[in-house]
């Protein structure tokens, strides 16, 4: 686990977003921190359905933080709350230093949000689409040409500036949607399943784009229901299922936390193979010593079976759909 040590979580129900008197100790917990997002006990209730359940998370500044979970897990619900579009039933958050419920304007100035579905803009060209959003963010009109050119170059859509938005391919629309989220040069990007529906090449290009954005100093919170999409580029991963956060940390720390130790496959001279569970490197040495010295067996191959996050994800989420 990286040091996303969270302050003690207040009891659920202690915090009521609609009560102005948020407990002082909670406010204290949410004061300046290295985390660009601090979510505390966020819960969203739709009637009897708990779409998000006591969701507490810190997103370190500068990270590419992936939220992974099956469809219906609550990813979009969490992102909508952080992006100021939905009020939590319970809980509180700081996004870029501001409260998304009571200081939505402050949050929106510093955060760019890419929703999971792009609206329809039948009559707009790609350049007009970005100008439209630049206007919405009150970017001065004389800055539009340079801004739009720069963004289109960044997302590799400069040749499409005069094409109609609706004529773009899925991958191009996703890149345009990302450019749109950046018209006001936000420090934080919240991207809801940006790679869904992309072919493998488009996905790789998208990933490279996100890494370039990280190099520019942006923090990126991204979701996916396909772990392989996130595994290689994310510095941090959180796994969510049925509204509940199951694990958070670096990809490796999640494997360590939840991986039930490691497994090794041993091949013997008689042609048989066996698998063993071990906890760490010392366990590996101990296993080898026992097999060779105590059991007097002739080992010809001894290999650790790599645990990838995909396998682990399937193991720790049970595919609960609510
Ligand atoms: N406006 C809504 N009204 C009722 N239920 C909703 C609403 N939005 C989402 N849900 C439900 O909340 C759960 C979480 O949804 P969502 O956050 O969209 O999950 P994900 O983005 O991980 O697929 C799902 O069961 C979904 O059907
Ligand atoms: Mg979603």
Q: What are the backbone dihedrals phi and psi of residue 249, each rounded to the nearest 5 degrees, phi first?
A: 155, -165
Q: Helix or strand or coil: residue 174? A: helix
Pick the closest to residue 129 from 173, 74, 66 (CA basis): 173
Model pLDDT, residue 276: 84
Per-residue pLDDT of the chain (322 residues; tens, 9 = 90+): 444 444 444 343 333 343 344 444 455 555 556 899 999 999 999 999 999 999 999 999 999 999 999 889 999 999 999 999 999 999 999 999 999 999 999 999 999 999 988 777 778 999 999 999 999 999 999 999 999 999 999 999 999 999 999 999 888 999 999 999 999 999 999 999 998 888 888 888 888 999 999 999 999 999 998 777 787 789 999 999 999 998 898 887 776 666 555 678 899 999 999 988 777 677 788 888 999 999 999 999 888 776 666 666 666 666 555 5
Residue 77 beta carbon below 6 angstroms from any ligand 1 atom: yes
Model pLDDT, residue 29: 52
Which residue CA neighbors atom 7 of ligand 1 most closely? 46
Spatial CB neighbours of 110, under 8 Å, sequence gap ≥ 6? 95, 96, 97, 98, 186, 187, 188
Rounded Cα–Cα distance for residues 130 and 281 (Å): 53
Of 74, 83, 114, 190, the residue with max ligand 1 atoms within 8 A of its CB, to mutate for a pocket test, comes to 74
Pick the closest to residue 257 from 309, 199, 220 (CA basis): 309
In sequence order, which ranges of the chain are alpha helices (DSSP H)?
A: 24-29, 75-82, 104-110, 126-136, 144-154, 170-181, 200-215, 227-231, 251-258, 281-289, 309-316
What's CA 18's distance to the chain center, in Å? Answer: 27
Helix, strand, coil shares, percent, the chain, to 5: 35, 25, 40
Model pLDDT, residue 151: 96
Burial string for 95-107 (b: 16+ CB within 10 Å, else e) reads bbbbbbbebbebb
Rounded Cα–Cα distance for residues 316 and 260 (Å): 10
If you measure from the C-alpha of residue 78 to the centroid of ligand 1, how many angstroms do you get, rounded to a whole number? 10
Task: Answer whether 4's CB lies under 8 Å from 249's CB.
Answer: yes
Model pLDDT, residue 259: 56
Rounded Cα–Cα distance for residues 83 and 108 (Å): 7
Residue 117 beta carbon below 6 angstroms from any ligand 1 atom: no
Of 71, 72, 117, 319, the residue with max ligand 1 atoms within 8 A of its CB, to mutate for a pocket test, comes to 72
Minimum-distance ligand 1 atom for the alpha carbon of 192: 21
Model pLDDT, residue 8: 45
- Work out the widest C-alpha separation in the chain, in whole angstroms: 80
Partnered with residue 38 across adjacent β-strands are: 58, 94
Q: Helix or strand or coil: residue 51? A: strand
Model pLDDT, residue 318: 60
């Amino acid at each position: 686990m990286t040091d996303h040590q969270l302050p003690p979580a207040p009891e659920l129900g202690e915090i009521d977003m609609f009560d102005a008197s948020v407990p002082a100790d909670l406010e204290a917990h949410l004061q300046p921190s290295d985390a660009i997002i601090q979510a505390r006990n966020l819960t969203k209730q739709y009637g009897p359905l708990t779409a998000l359940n006591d969701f507490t998370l810190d997103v370190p500044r500068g990270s590419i933080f992936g939220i992974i979970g099956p469809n219906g897990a609550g990813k979009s619900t969490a992102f909508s709350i952080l992006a100021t579009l939905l009020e939590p039933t319970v809980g509180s958050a700081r996004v870029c230093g501001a409260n998304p419920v009571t200081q939505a304007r402050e949050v929106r100035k510093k955060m760019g949000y890419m929703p999971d579905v792009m609206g329809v803009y039948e009559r707009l060209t790609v350049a007009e689409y970005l100008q439209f959003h630049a206007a919405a963010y009150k970017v001065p009109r004389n800055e539009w040409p340079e801004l739009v050119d720069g963004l289109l170059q960044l997302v590799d859509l400069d040749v499409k500036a005069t094409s109609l938005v609706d004529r773009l391919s899925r991958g191009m629309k996703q890149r345009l949607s990302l450019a749109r989220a950046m018209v006001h040069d936000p420090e934080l990007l919240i991207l809801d399943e940006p790679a869904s529906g992309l072919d493998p090449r488009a996905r790789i290009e998208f990933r490279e784009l996100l890494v370039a954005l990280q190099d520019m100093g942006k923090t990126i919170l991204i979701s996916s229901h396909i772990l392989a999409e996130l595994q290689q580029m994310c510095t941090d991963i959180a796994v969510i299922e049925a509204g509940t956060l199951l694990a958070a940390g670096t990809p490796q720390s999640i494997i360590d936390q939840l991986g039930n130790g490691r497994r090794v496959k041993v091949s013997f001279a008689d042609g048989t193979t066996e698998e063993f569970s071990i906890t760490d490197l010392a366990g590996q040495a101990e296993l080898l010593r026992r097999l060779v010295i105590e059991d007097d067996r002739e080992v010809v191959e001894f290999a650790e079976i790599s645990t990838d996050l995909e396998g682990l994800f399937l193991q720790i989420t049970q595919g609960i759909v609510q």
